[in-house]
């Protein structure tokens, strides 16, 4: 036996002497090793210096140990016509795209609910650009994802299209007949689609990212439909990549749903987000429900943080907020009650007294669409004086944006529960209640609830304008005004609304979780084909 045959040996399962590895197996092992992090220490070190992990490290962290099976691991860049084969094998493993199927949260929800497709651009390979074989691999995986109805987690870091794949020149010109973007987009509303970015994400990579249901990005990320090269090529100036779509822009304009500190937190949040679509948890912990009785200030004019109400209502550590810096008058996200997942929309009295603005309506409508597409019940917590009005708000297309809540809400087929915490005025609160108080499975109120067709002070000023103007004494005019306002508050209080059957009940705030869970058990289950929307609006 010569020295080369002795170099690679494998144990004999039956015991005894080891056998030499056959040449073809040795070639495979060597080839696959080029893509492993332990054989790329310089690459791993560069990522560490940027406070980033490798694509493979992120995939391994996302998927349950030993569950990931990789497709297309032997691919290399289509550049044989310009670079030596050995160089391509060493420098362009997987053609910059790690792809496969694994399980996520399988230890909590079981293997059948944990299956997930993963596509991860590898920025250490040609800046995570989209190459010829890279696209071919994605197309194969996206078709499999659709056929098997697998949730998708997409790591989008990269620079978009790659112009240097000379081997493809004989079979394509511009490549605009690619099916990748159509295949990716058709997953919307069909399966949960999660996008993750750490670093730079431009052009084609950003186009895929923008199709995702939720975008999770690290603080140092930049996201743009065109990167610096494209911007400069278009004659629009020279910019650093850090200046194109940084997080202080993309979190406030609503592009990024969740901002995180680093790769590890991004993967942890992705796991948490996916968990809401994987089913209920058998074990949960709740806070003291009696605290909800004091959640609303005694003064009706005093603001409060609705997030404190949400966290007190939800199972411990179960609330995940989306787009917190965008449309601050509306809070949206997911939570669990007794282990069961819910989508949430809530007015935020800390911003414009909870009035619904265009951006907040967009947030709420999109949350409804995600829940409706994937069968998650919706909880609406209301405290709003209505839609925001005035000349300035109309410049933001208020009419069209806020009416999305009516249109989307009317198509919702999942159980929808409305709880009024305090103010419920006008068209705004009707939109929060899926179009009207009798459109939700139940509409209930806390005793602090107050209702009216519009703000009660404004209603008095508008409805009794002549009577007030006829009173010459300013003090008596003010006393009459206060009397009329008090009458409307008394008429519009929650108990009177329930007595007239305009809402279904008034409940002890401490019983809110019980009401929601009893409603969920009573609400009819929706058939899978009854979803009112076949896709989730990217906006």
CA-CA distances (angstroms) from residue 273 to 26, 66, 172, 185, 295?
A: 41, 22, 39, 20, 27
Alpha-carbon torsion (353, 357, 361, 362), positive or negative: negative
Same domain, 254 and 327: no
Local confidence band at 528 (pLDDT 50, 70, 90 cut-offs)? low
pLDDT value for 5: 44
Picking from 275, 301, 317, the residue at the C-terminal end of a domain is: 275
CATH code of 141's domain: 3.90.226.10
Lowest mean pLDDT among 155-169, 230-244, 455-469: 455-469
**Residue 281 resides in a domain:** no
Cβ neighbours around 462 below 10 Å, total: 10
Query: 178: which 2 tokens?
Result: 């690619």
- Token digits of residue 233: 């090529």
Looking at the fold, whether 168 and 301 belong to one and the same domain comes out as no
- Tokens of residue 275, six digits: 């968990």
The pLDDT value given to residue 527: 62
- 196, part of any domain: yes
Instruction: Write down the pLDDT at residue 165.
Output: 82
How many domains in the chain? 2
- What pLDDT is stored for residue 278 in this prediction? 96
Question: Are 216 and 315 within one domain?
Answer: no
Q: Tell me: pLDDT of 9 over 60.
A: no
Q: Are residues 271 and 293 in the same domain?
A: no
The percentage of the chain sitting over the pLDDT mark of 70, rounded to a whole number, equals: 95
Higher-pLDDT residue of 484 and 154 is: 154
Is the domain of 159 the same as that of 217?
yes
Q: Which residues share a beta bridge with 246?
A: 222
Q: Is residue 455 part of a domain?
A: no
Taking each helix axis from N to C end, the angle separating 398-410 and 358-374, rounded to the nearest 10 degrees, works out to 20
Please give the Cα distance from 409 to 413 (Å, whole number): 9
| Same domain for 348 and 384 | yes
Q: Which residues have a Cβ under 8 Å from the Cβ of 425 and sit 6 or more positions away? A: 384, 385, 386, 451, 452, 453, 454, 455, 456
Residue 422: per-residue pLDDT: 96
Has residue 520 been placed in a domain? yes
Pairing of strands 222-224, 505-506: unpaired
493 φ, ψ (degrees, to nearest 5) = -70, 160
Tell me: pLDDT of 250 over 90. yes
Among 330-344, 353-367, 413-427, 451-465, whose mean pLDDT is lowest?
451-465
Q: Find tokens 């059948």 and name the residue.
A: 112
Closest CA to 77 of 41, 48, 35, 119: 35
192 and 266 in a single domain? The answer is yes
pLDDT band (50, 70, 90) for residue 6: very low
Helix (H) or strand (E) holding 136: helix 132-148
Question: What gap in Å lies between CA 288 and CA 291, rounded to an integer?
Answer: 6
Give the alpha-carbon dihedral of 287, 289, 295, 296, to 10 degrees: 160
Among 223, 248, 275, the domain boundary falls at 275
pLDDT score at 17: 64
Residues 6+ apart with CB under 8 A from 9: 18, 19, 20, 21
Shared-domain flag, residues 118 and 91: yes
The DSSP line for 87-132 is HHHHHSGGGGEEEEEEESSHHHH-HHHHEEEEEEE-TTTGGG-B-H
Sequence-ordered list of residues with C-beta below 8 angstroms from that of 226, at least 6 positions apart, any chain: 202, 203, 234, 244
- pLDDT tens figures, 58-92: 999 999 999 999 999 999 998 888 899 999 998 99
- Residues 429, 501, single domain; the answer is yes
- Whether residues 164 and 302 share a domain: the answer is no
Q: Check whether residue 89 and residue 164 sit in a common domain.
A: yes
Comparing CA positions, the residue from 409, 388, 408 lying closest to residue 399 is 388
pLDDT tens-place string over residues 347-398:
999 999 999 999 999 999 999 999 999 999 999 999 999 999 999 999 999 9
Highest mean pLDDT among 139-148, 229-238, 481-490: 139-148
Of 436-445, 462-471, 502-511, where does mean pLDDT reach its minimum?
462-471
Using the 3D structure, point to which of 275, 306, 332 is the last residue of a domain.
275
Q: Domain range spanning residue 385? A: 289-449+493-530
Q: Take residue 238 and report the two structure tokens written for it.
A: 């020279």
pTM of the model: 0.92
CA dist., res. 423 & res. 262, Å (int): 39
Q: Is residue 475 part of a domain?
A: no
């Amino acid at each position: 036996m010569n020295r080369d045959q002795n170099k690679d040996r494998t144990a004999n399962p039956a015991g005894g002497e080891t056998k030499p590895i056959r040449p073809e197996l040795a070639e495979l092992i060597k080839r696959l090793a080029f893509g492993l992090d332990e054989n790329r220490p310089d690459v791993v070190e560069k990522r560490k210096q940027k406070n980033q992990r490798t694509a493979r490290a992120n995939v391994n962290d996302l998927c349950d140990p030993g569950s990931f099976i990789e497709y297309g691991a032997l691919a290399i860049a289509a550049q044989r016509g310009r670079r030596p084969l050995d160089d391509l094998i060493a420098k362009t493993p997987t053609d910059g795209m790690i792809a496969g199927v694994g399980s996520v949260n399988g230890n909590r929800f079981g293997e059948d609910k944990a299956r997930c497709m993963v596509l991860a651009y590898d920025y250490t390979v040609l800046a995570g650009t989209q190459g010829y074989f890279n696209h071919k691999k994605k197309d194969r995986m996206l078709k499999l994802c659709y056929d098997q109805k697998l949730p998708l987690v997409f790591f989008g870091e990269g620079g978009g299209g790659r112009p240097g794949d000379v081997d493809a020149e004989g079979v394509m010109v511009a490549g605009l007949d690619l099916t990748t973007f159509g295949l990716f987009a058709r997953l919307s509303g069909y399966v949960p689609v999660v996008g993750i970015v750490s670093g730079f994400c431009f052009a084609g990579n950003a186009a895929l990212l923008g199709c995702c249901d939720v975008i999770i990005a690290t603080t140092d990320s930049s996201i743009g439909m065109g990167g610096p090269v494209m911007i400069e090529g278009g004659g629009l100036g020279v910019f650093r990549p850090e200046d194109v779509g940084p997080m202080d822009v993309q979190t406030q304009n609503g592009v990024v749903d969740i901002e995180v500190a680093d790769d590890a937190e991004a993967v942890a949040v992705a796991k948490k987000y996916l968990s809401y679509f994987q089913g209920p948890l058998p074990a949960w912990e709740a806070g003291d429900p009696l605290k909800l009785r004091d959640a609303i200030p005694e003064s009706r004019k005093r603001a409060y943080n609705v997030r404190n109400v949400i966290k007190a209502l939800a199972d411990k550590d179960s609330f995940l907020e989306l787009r917190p810096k965008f449309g601050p008058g509306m809070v949206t996200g997911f939570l669990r009650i007794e282990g069961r997942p819910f989508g949430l929309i809530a007015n935020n009295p800390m911003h414009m007294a909870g009035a619904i603005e265009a951006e907040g309506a967009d947030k709420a409508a999109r949350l409804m669409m995600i829940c409706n597409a994937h069968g998650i019940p919706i909880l609406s917590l209301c405290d709003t004086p209505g839609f925001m009005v005035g000349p300035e708000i109309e410049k933001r297309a208020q009419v069209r944006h806020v009416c999305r809540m009516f249109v989307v809400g009317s198509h919702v087929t999942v159980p929808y529960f409305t709880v009024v915490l305090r103010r419920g005025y006008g068209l705004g609160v009707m939109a929060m209640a899926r179009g009207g108080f009798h459109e939700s499975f139940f509409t209930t109120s806390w005793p602090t609830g107050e209702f009216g067709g519009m703000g009660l002070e404004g209603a008095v000023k508008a409805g009794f304008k002549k009577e007030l103007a006829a009173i010459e004494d300013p003090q008596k005019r003010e006393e009459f005004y206060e009397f009329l306002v008090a009458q409307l508050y008394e008429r519009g209080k929650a108990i009177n609304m329930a007595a007239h059957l305009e809402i279904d009940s008034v409940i002890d705030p401490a019983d809110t979780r019980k009401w929601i869970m009893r409603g969920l058990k009573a609400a009819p289950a929706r058939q899978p084909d009854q979803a009112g929307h076949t896709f989730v609006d990217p906006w």
